[in-house]
Structure 1
Amino acid sequence: MVQSPPREAPDRRRRDRGAVGFLRDLVVIVVVAVLASFLIKTFLIRSFFIPSESMENTLQVHDRILVNELVPGLIPLQRGDVVVFKDPDTWLVGQEDYAAPPSNALQASAEWVLSLFGLSAQDANDHLVKRVIGLPGDHVTCCNALGQLSVNGTPVQEPYVVKQPGTDRVSEQDFDVTVPAGELWVMGDNRYNSEDSRYHPTSKHKGFVPLDDVVGRAFVVSWPVSHWSWLSNYPGSFAGVGPPSK
């Protein structure tokens, strides 16, 4: 009687090949994930935290926002856009509240997940977030008899602005500037508690922000869940603003 050969060895070889295949697939998945996270962080989206009150009530302290890095490289900026930019002229010197906020367990977990995809910005404390008011060439003035600022001679209604109680002025100080080529005039929404373009007239860029320093346009509040919202650039507010005069 002929006996069948033992099946133990072929079964073990199949198991070994299966283990090798699994490890190979795992390595491929990890490499693709790392590459994808690098590409996302470099070219598409990053996450930043809000360290101060300067953009209230649009953004609250310790909010997380997602930033579209295709702006302004491939997609042009518009007046009213909320932008993140690198500190152009040591605006942040002496402002200790720009340190990263402490996180509870749930926030830390969310930040860890974001970091896996390259979305968490570890250098967020070197950046600021403000709203674009003036584009290159724009003539921005404040304030008219109604307390409004004007862009290229057109008064702008700004429903997002937090004003000082008892006044209709959107800025405590007057200004009259023309935005140079390649730069922006930016302001916080919490106008009486925002150190923005108005407060750096003697700096290298005289308060303007170079377009090259803009990381991207913030488009959504991603954390906490209770603050989830899309960020508007209020196109109706700037709809009547014409191009800058030549």
Structure 2
Amino acid sequence: MIDEQTEKRRGSFWRELPILLGVAILVAVLVRAFVLQTFYIPSPSMEHTLNVLDRVLVNKLVYDFRDPRRGEIIVFKAPSDWQSGAEGEDFIKRIIGEPGDHIICCDSQERLTINGKSLDEPYIYKDADGNQDPAADRKFDITVPANRLWVMGDHRSASGDSLEHYEETGDVEEATIPEDSVVGRAFTVFWPVKRATWLSVPKGFDDIPDAK
């Protein structure tokens, strides 16, 4: 026989359940809005670091405490004249240059130089035959404006990025993105499971000196 105390506990649980569900939903909404968000990869512009339909987790809070850094993969709200094709409004690229950085293409080994130091980029896309995209498909010499970032896709020949827009406009302001357009840092691939990995900053960026 079910005693009166048990009935009260059951009744209390069912009365509290909607409140618990509401709190859980509110927490999930707040986390998505301010802390973490998932994004899927719609285009080949970051292959093979990120493949089409990979899903990444983005830390939306990190840049509230520090500035974006070279080598990090970021999601950002693309300028209106960048928005075309599969990527929509949210773009994902790698930061190559911070404000004040002097970037040149290229050195004698066809590598980008940043503030006078050559950058090794082993993550740049290679096709099935092992042929790697060039670091850039034309020579350039730019200095990243204040409060802006120079971003590029790892699949250079398939990326609408700072280089493409600089080639189109010749205007480094138009070719860079404002720092305040950055949504957050992509820090891990979590799906598909077989591709799960941390998105750490490549070691080549460790040797790049600060802008003078």
1:76 partner amino acid: D
Q: TM-score, normalised by structure 2?
A: 0.88
Q: Tell me if 1:152 matches 2:152.
A: no
Deviations 1:66-112 (A, max 9, x none): 0011232223322100000011233122x1x33xxxxxxxxxxxxxx
Q: Matched residues in 1 for 2:23 and 2:144: separation?
A: 43
Q: 1:37 to 1:166 in 2, by over 3 A?
A: closer
**1:19-168 alignment to 2 at 5 Å?**
19-93=10-84, 95=85, 97-98=86-87, 125-162=88-125
Q: Matched residues in 1 for 2:192 and 2:131: separation?
A: 32
What's the counterpart of residue 243 of structure 1? Answer: 210
> Which consecutive residues of structure 2, in runs of 5 or more, have no partner in the other structure?
none
What's 2:177 paired with? 209
In structure 2, the partner of 1:179 is: 144
Identity %: 41
**Residues 144 and 27 from structure 1, CA distance in 2 versus in 1: closer, same or farther, beyond 3 angstroms?**
same
Distance 2:98 2:80 in 1: 19
CA displacement at 1:166 relative to structure 2? 6.1
Q: CA deviation at 1:163?
A: 5.6
Q: Is the 8 A contact 1:138 1:152 kept in 2?
A: yes
Largest Rg, 1 or 2: 1
Q: CA deviation at 1:167?
A: 7.1
5+ residue gaps, structure 1: 1-6, 99-124
Aligned to 1:188: 153
Computed over aligned residues only, the root mean square deviation of the Cα atoms, in angstroms, reads 2.4
TM-score, structure 1 as length reference: 0.77
Structure 1 residue runs of 4 or more that deviate by more than 2 Å after TM superposition = 17-20, 163-169, 201-205
Q: What SS does structure 1 have at the residue aligned with 2:149? A: strand
Shift in Å, 1:25: 2.1
CA distance 1:47–1:142, shift in 2 (3 Å)? same
Q: In structure 2, what is the Cα distance between the partners aligned to 1:84 and 1:55? A: 12
